[in-house]
C-alpha cells in the first residue's frame, strides 16, 4: 500500500499512535456567555467559576468591557463620565465603531489576545468570556478553539431585566422617561438594526446550553449552601457535567428530547429565509406531531413529505419555482410603492442614491417585518395541522419550537388549546404578546395550564405560557448523550466510573493535524 513502505515487524519501539494523538489534544477550556442586557451574565459567570473551583479548576474571567476599554481608552473614559443610560449607549457605540473599523469579531479577537497572554503562566487554561454580543464572535472562538469552546445562553424574563436595569441605574420605578430609555437601551442591545451593532438575539441560537436567570440574583460572596438554592446553580451543574462527561448515565430531560425532535424537523425545511422546527407533545408527554416551515402541497402536507419522485419533492419549493423569496419580493414592492406615492405627492427624494438609501431604511423599518406574503406554512402551524389531519386532539398540548412564534401562529396556538410553548431563538418581529396579552403570558408564579384550570373549574382569565427553553441545546445533543464507550464491567456487569480521559478525548488538537500526521508517520517509519 502506497505510503506504508515496509510494515513494522514488531521488533522496533512501540508506535503508540493513539497516545500521541491524545497528548496532542488541548487541555484548555473556553466558555462564552451570551445574554441580553440585564440577564445577569456576570452573576452567572461568577457562579460558574465557583462551581469550577469546587471541581479543582481555576477559571479566568475575561470581560468584553475590558477589551473595549483597552482598544479605545479615550472614548471609554469619555463614555464613563456620562450619566448611566447615555454611558452605556456610548459604550454600545464604541463597540459598533470598532466592529466597523475592524470586523464583527473584534471583541472576540481581543478576548483571544487576553487568553494568549494568560497562557504565558503555563498549564491548562480555563477562561469564562463575559459576554458575547455578535454571531461573528462565536464563529471566531469556535474556529480557533473548536470543541474546547462552549457557549452558555442566559435567558431572563424581559420584565425582570427591565426592573434590574432601573434599580441598577438608580431610577425610580414610576419614572416614565427612565422606563422608556431603559426599554430603548434593551432594544439596541438585542438588535439595534445597525449594520455593525450588537446582535444578541441572533447570537443566542448558537449556544450549547441554556439557563434561566430570572430568579433573584445571588450576592457575590454568599456561602455555598445559599448558592446551591439558586435555581440556576442546578442548571450550571448539569451544564458542567455534560461538558466534563463525568456522568455517563446522565440522560436528556423530556424538554431536551422534544427540542431535539423540533431541531430535526427544522432540517427538513428548504425555506430561503430561515429554518424553523416544531414538535407537539400530548399531556402524557407523547410526541403527537412535528412540523417545519415549508410550502404546502395539494392533498395535504408539505413538499418533501411522503414523496418518492425527486422532481416532485422540489417542484413547488421557492428555490425551484423562480429561485426567489416571495415575501422579500413583496416587501420590496411595497417599499417601491411607498416611494412612488411620495414622489407623486411632490415629496423630493433626491437622486437615485438618496432614493436607494431611503429604500434601505424602509426595509429595516416595520415594513421589513411583514411575514404574511411567505408561501411557507410556519412550523407551528404545520405541527397543529398535522395533528388535525390525523384526528389527534391538541387540547392541553405543549409545543416546542426552535424560534419564538410569530403573532399569526400565536393566535392559532391559543385557539388550538395548547397549554405551553417553549422556544429557543427570540423573534423580535413577533407581536404575539402585545396583541394577545389577554391569552398569552410569559412565565409567572402561580401560572396554571388552561386545560387544568378549566378542568378544575377555576375562573379565568387563562393564559398560554410562552417560556424560553432551558437545557442542552440540540447542537449539543449527540455530543452530550451518545454512549460512545463502555459503562459497565464486562465480567460483573457493574456500572463503571467515568473514565478519567472522557472529556479529554473530546478536545481538539493543539497542533495542526498535518503536524500530528507527520509525527505519527515518523514514529511508524522508525518502528521497523
Mean local confidence (pLDDT), 455-459: 87
Cα dihedral 436, 439, 443, 444 sign: positive
**What's the pLDDT score for residue 403?**
94
Give the model's confidence band at 124: pLDDT under 50 very low, under 70 low, under 90 confident, else very high: low
- Residue 366 pLDDT exceeds 90: no
- On average, the pLDDT of the chain sits at 86
Cα–Cα dist 33/61, whole Å = 11
Cα–Cα dist 209/240, whole Å = 10
Mean local confidence (pLDDT), 343-371: 87
**What's the pLDDT score for residue 392?**
97
Mean local confidence (pLDDT), 254-277: 95
- Residue 168 pLDDT exceeds 70: yes
Centroid of chain to Cα 415: 29
User: For residue 470, which of 269, 256, 265, 210 has the smallest C-alpha distance?
Assistant: 210
Q: How far is CA 281 from CA 69, 70, 211, 256, 284, in A?
A: 48, 50, 22, 12, 8
Q: Confirm if 194 and 94 have CB atoms less than 8 A apart.
A: no
Across the beta sheet with 287-292, what order do the strands follow? 287-292, 277-281, 398-403, 420-425, 464-468, 440-441
**What's the pLDDT score for residue 527?**
53
- Residue predicted with more confidence, 456 or 414: 414
Give the model's confidence band at 295: pLDDT under 50 very low, under 70 low, under 90 confident, else very high: very high
Phi/psi of residue 209, nearest 5 degrees: -155, 150
Give the model's confidence band at 4: pLDDT under 50 very low, under 70 low, under 90 confident, else very high: very low
Centroid of chain to Cα 124: 27
Q: Confirm if 318 and 295 have CB atoms less than 8 A apart.
A: yes
Mean local confidence (pLDDT), 38-56: 93
**What's the pLDDT score for residue 25?**
76
- Residue 84 pLDDT exceeds 50: yes
What DSSP string runs through 6-61? SPP-S-S----HHHHHHHTB---EEEEEEE-TTS-HHHHHHHHHHHHHHTT---EE
Tens digit of pLDDT for each residue in 85-102? Answer: 788 788 888 888 898 888
User: For residue 444, which of 420, 471, 424 has the smallest C-alpha distance?
Assistant: 420
Q: DSSP E strands: which ranges in 184-320?
A: 209-212, 277-281, 287-292
Cα–Cα dist 160/281, whole Å = 29
Within 204-309, residue ranges assigned H as helices are: 224-227, 231-244, 254-266
The DSSP symbol for 378 reads P
Give the model's confidence band at 281: pLDDT under 50 very low, under 70 low, under 90 confident, else very high: very high
- Residue 484 pLDDT exceeds 90: no
Cα–Cα dist 236/231, whole Å = 9
Mean local confidence (pLDDT), 8-23: 68
- pLDDT above 90: percentage of residues in the chain: 44
For the chain, the farthest-separated pair of C-alpha atoms sits apart, in whole angstroms, at 93
- Residue 1 pLDDT exceeds 50: no
Considering the entire predicted model, what is its pTM?
A: 0.87
- pLDDT above 70: percentage of residues in the chain: 91
Amino acid at each position: 500500500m502506497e505510503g506504508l513502505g515496509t510494515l513494522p515487524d514488531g521488533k522496533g519501539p512501540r508506535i503508540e499512535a493513539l497516545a500521541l494523538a491524545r497528548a496532542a489534544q488541548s487541555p484548555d477550556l473556553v466558555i462564552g456567555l451570551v445574554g441580553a442586557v440585564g440577564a445577569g451574565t456576570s452573576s452567572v459567570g461568577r457562579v460558574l467559576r465557583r462551581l469550577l473551583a469546587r471541581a479543582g479548576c481555576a477559571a479566568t474571567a475575561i470581560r468584553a468591557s475590558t477589551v473595549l476599554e483597552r482598544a479605545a481608552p479615550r472614548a471609554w473614559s469619555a463614555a464613563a463620565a456620562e450619566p448611566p443610560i447615555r454611558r452605556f449607549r456610548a459604550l454600545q457605540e464604541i463597540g459598533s465603531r470598532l466592529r466597523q473599523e475592524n470586523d464583527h469579531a473584534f471583541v472576540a479577537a481581543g478576548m483571544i489576545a487576553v487568553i494568549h497572554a494568560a497562557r504565558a503562566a503555563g498549564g491548562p487554561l480555563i477562561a469564562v468570556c463575559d459576554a458575547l454580543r455578535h454571531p461573528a464572535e462565536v464563529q471566531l472562538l469556535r474556529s480557533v478553539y473548536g470543541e474546547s469552546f462552549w457557549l452558555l445562553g442566559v435567558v431572563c424574563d424581559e420584565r425582570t431585566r427591565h426592573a434590574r436595569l432601573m434599580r441598577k441605574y438608580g431610577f425610580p420605578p414610576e419614572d416614565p422617561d427612565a422606563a422608556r430609555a431603559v426599554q430603548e437601551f434593551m432594544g439596541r442591545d438585542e438588535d439595534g438594526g445597525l449594520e455593525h451593532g450588537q446582535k444578541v438575539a441572533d447570537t443566542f441560537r448558537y449556544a450549547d446550553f441554556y439557563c434561566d436567570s430570572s430568579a433573584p440574583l445571588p450576592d457575590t460572596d454568599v456561602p455555598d449552601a445559599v448558592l446551591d438554592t439558586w435555581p440556576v446553580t442546578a442548571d450550571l451543574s448539569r451544564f458542567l457535567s455534560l461538558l466534563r462527561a463525568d456522568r455517563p448515565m446522565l440522560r436528556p430531560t423530556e424538554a431536551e428530547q422534544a427540542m431535539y425532535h423540533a431541531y430535526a424537523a427544522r432540517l427538513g425545511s428548504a425555506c430561503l429565509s430561515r429554518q424553523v422546527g416544531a414538535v407537539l407533545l400530548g399531556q402524557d408527554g407523547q410526541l403527537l406531531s412535528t412540523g417545519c416551515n415549508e410550502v404546502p402541497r395539494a392533498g395535504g402536507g408539505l413538499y418533501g413529505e411522503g414523496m418518492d419522485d425527486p422532481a416532485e419533492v422540489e417542484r413547488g419549493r421557492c428555490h425551484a419555482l423562480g429561485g426567489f423569496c416571495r415575501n422579500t419580493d413583496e416587501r420590496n414592492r411595497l417599499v417601491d410603492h411607498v416611494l412612488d406615492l411620495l414622489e407623486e405627492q411632490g415629496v423630493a427624494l433626491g437622486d437615485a442614491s438618496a432614493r436607494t438609501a431611503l429604500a434601505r431604511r424602509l426595509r429595516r423599518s416595520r415594513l421589513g417585518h411583514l411575514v404574511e406574503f411567505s408561501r411557507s406554512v410556519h412550523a407551528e402551524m404545520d405541527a397543529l395541522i398535522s395533528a388535525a389531519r390525523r384526528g389527534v386532539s391538541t387540547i392541553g398540548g405543549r409545543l416546542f419550537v426552535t424560534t419564538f412564534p410569530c403573532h399569526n401562529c400565536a393566535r392559532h396556538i391559543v385557539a388550538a388549546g395548547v397549554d405551553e410553548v417553549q422556544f429557543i431563538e427570540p423573534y423580535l418581529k413577533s407581536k404575539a404578546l402585545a396583541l394577545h396579552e389577554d391569552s398569552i403570558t410569559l412565565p409567572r408564579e402561580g401560572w396554571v395550564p388552561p386545560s387544568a384550570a378549566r378542568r378544575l373549574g377555576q375562573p379565568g382569565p387563562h393564559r398560554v405560557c410562552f417560556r424560553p427553553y432551558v437545557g442542552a441545546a440540540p447542537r449539543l445533543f449527540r455530543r452530550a448523550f451518545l454512549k460512545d464507550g463502555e459503562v459497565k464491567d464486562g465480567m460483573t456487569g457493574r456500572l463503571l466510573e467515568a473514565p478519567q480521559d472522557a472529556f479529554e478525548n473530546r478536545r481538539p488538537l493543539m497542533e495542526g493535524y498535518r503536524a500530528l500526521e507527520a509525527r505519527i508517520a515518523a514514529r511508524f517509519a522508525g518502528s521497523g
